[in-house]
Amino acid sequence: MYNSSNISINEQGHLVFAGQDTVELAKQYGTPAYIMDEERIRERCRIYRSAMEEHFGEGSIPLFASKALSVKRIYEIMAEEGMGIDIVSSGELYTALKAGFDLSKAYFHGNNKTDFDIKYGIENGIGHFVCDNADELRAINEIAGANRIKQHILLRITPGIDPHTLAAINTGKVDSKFGAAIETGQADELVALALSLENIALDGYHCHIGSQIFEYEPFVDAATIMLTFMRDMKVKYGFEAQIMNLGGGMGVKYVNSDPEINYASNIAGIATLCKKICRDLGLNQPKFLLEPGRSIVADSGITLYTVGGVKEIPGFKNYVSIDGGMPDNPRYALYQSRYDAVVANKASLPADYECTLAGRCCESGDLIGEGMMLCKPVRGDTVAVFVTGAYNYAMASHYNRIPKAPIVMVNKNGSYIAVKRETFEDLCKNEI
């Protein structure tokens, strides 16, 4: 079974998550349900914040990459923990606004901000746009001018490195829909354009090299390229960046065979080398930002399901069907992501039954995982899938007209609903 400090088994042999009996949670809130450990989320924010302040210095803060999980309650927690945020759409901006998040600490990302997005961001006092391309830069300049402000921005730069990770989530290579590459000269041109525009205040640069990166070296490689670029722009245009945003992507242990990451020591390692590179290049040290998404919320979440049929196909596989699947967790269908699971009401029994954990949708690819080891379940058992806090609810759909599952937060005092389960009426609410 997946091991983590917030997971244990009680005397009844039930899985306990963040101090709460998951079988009881399943009874109380129904299934499928996302369960999230509020203390773990807060603890991760604090690790990032204190390590960044200690090693990079004051003003260097983590921004929660809220595409990993964008709901009001998360933005409230981020505000309380002193985090900045990164958002990628007006919908995320709206959600943050509804949660009372101070948008001066928000960075608006994305490779295609519409005119509406730019207006909406500016009217609501967005701190920075992370500008992707020249067309967008001109549009921001124009809309900022119409609003009589000088808009602060970073430029999204493609450092052209491969962080040795999955190609599908590998965004820092030259051939990418994101940003402007240094190698092709387009990054340089974008700096020149930004510096020439009247209503633009260029504060620095951003890069994001990918996701599920377990070592810190790829971040240092990216930082070396980015800081060298910063030096070149200083020499060429006399512009010295104030902010260097190295993006997100620190890995998460999804299954026990993945490495356990010490985020604080990774940050310390990156910071030490960044400071040295700045000294070597004769740069004043900019403020550094990081944008963790997954590593803040992924292992703070589990999903509870109820088992339906158990089907054994002689000579082939065993299928265990659950009452959720790709509508609440499309990551196996998208990336063949690995997950670990347990029968929550039989957590102390041996997991000796190899099976495919299948969702309920009319789609063969709707699986949570193959070759999973569970204690042989029967209809009505509760299954818990681990490490589902990131990119699960955020990617949830209504496929097969299945209402979205609720998010239940647990903490020392008990549990509460952060997001209600959708109703059938919710499914039809926009239909005339």
Rounded CA-CA distance 54/288 in Å is 12
Kindly give the residue spans of alpha helices, DSSP state H, lying in 81-170: 90-98, 115-123, 134-146
295 binds ligand PLP (CB under 6 A): yes
- Choose, by CB under 6 A, the member of 84, 218, 293, 325 that binds ligand PLP: 293
* Residue 97, both tokens: 């606004």
Residue count at the site for ligand PLP (CB under 6 A)? 16
179 binds ligand PLP (CB under 6 A): no
* Residue 176, both tokens: 């990418």
Using the minimum distance from each CB to ligand PLP, give the nearer residue, 66 or 345.
66
300 binds ligand PLP (CB under 6 A): no
- The residue to which tokens 């789609």 are assigned: 363
165 binds ligand PLP (CB under 6 A): no
286 binds ligand PLP (CB under 6 A): no
The contact pattern for ligand PLP, residues 67-106, with x = CB under 6 A and - = no contact, is xx-----------------x--------------------
Rounded CA-CA distance 317/325 in Å is 18
Among residues 134, 36, 6, 156, the alpha carbon closest in space to that of 415 is found at 36
- Whole-number minimum distance, CB 44 to ligand PLP, in Å? 11
Q: Are 53 and 62 in contact (CB under 8 A)?
A: no
362 is catalytic: yes
Using the minimum distance from each CB to ligand PLP, give the nearer residue, 109 or 287.
109
Burial of residue 168 (CB within 10 Å: 0-12, 13-18, 19+) is exposed
Using the minimum distance from each CB to ligand PLP, give the nearer residue, 209 or 341.
209
Using the minimum distance from each CB to ligand PLP, give the nearer residue, 29 or 339.
339
* Residue 21, both tokens: 């009996």
- Choose, by CB under 6 A, the member of 14, 44, 105, 109 that binds ligand PLP: 109
Q: Which 205-234 positions form the footprint of ligand PLP (CB under 6 A)? A: 208, 211
Q: Which helix (H) or strand (E) holds 204?
A: strand 200-206
Using the minimum distance from each CB to ligand PLP, give the nearer residue, 179 or 359.
179
Burial of residue 357 (CB within 10 Å: 0-12, 13-18, 19+) is buried
Q: Are 286 and 242 in contact (CB under 8 A)?
A: yes
331 binds ligand PLP (CB under 6 A): no
Catalytic residue among 207, 274, 361, 362: 362
- The residue to which tokens 């209504």 are assigned: 398
Rounded CA-CA distance 8/2 in Å is 10
The contact pattern for ligand PLP, residues 247-266, with x = CB under 6 A and - = no contact, is xxxx----------------
292 binds ligand PLP (CB under 6 A): yes
Q: Which residues of the chain form contacts with ligand PLP (CB under 6 A)?
A: 65, 67-68, 86, 109, 208, 211, 247-250, 291-295
Q: List, by residue number, the catalytic residues.
A: 362
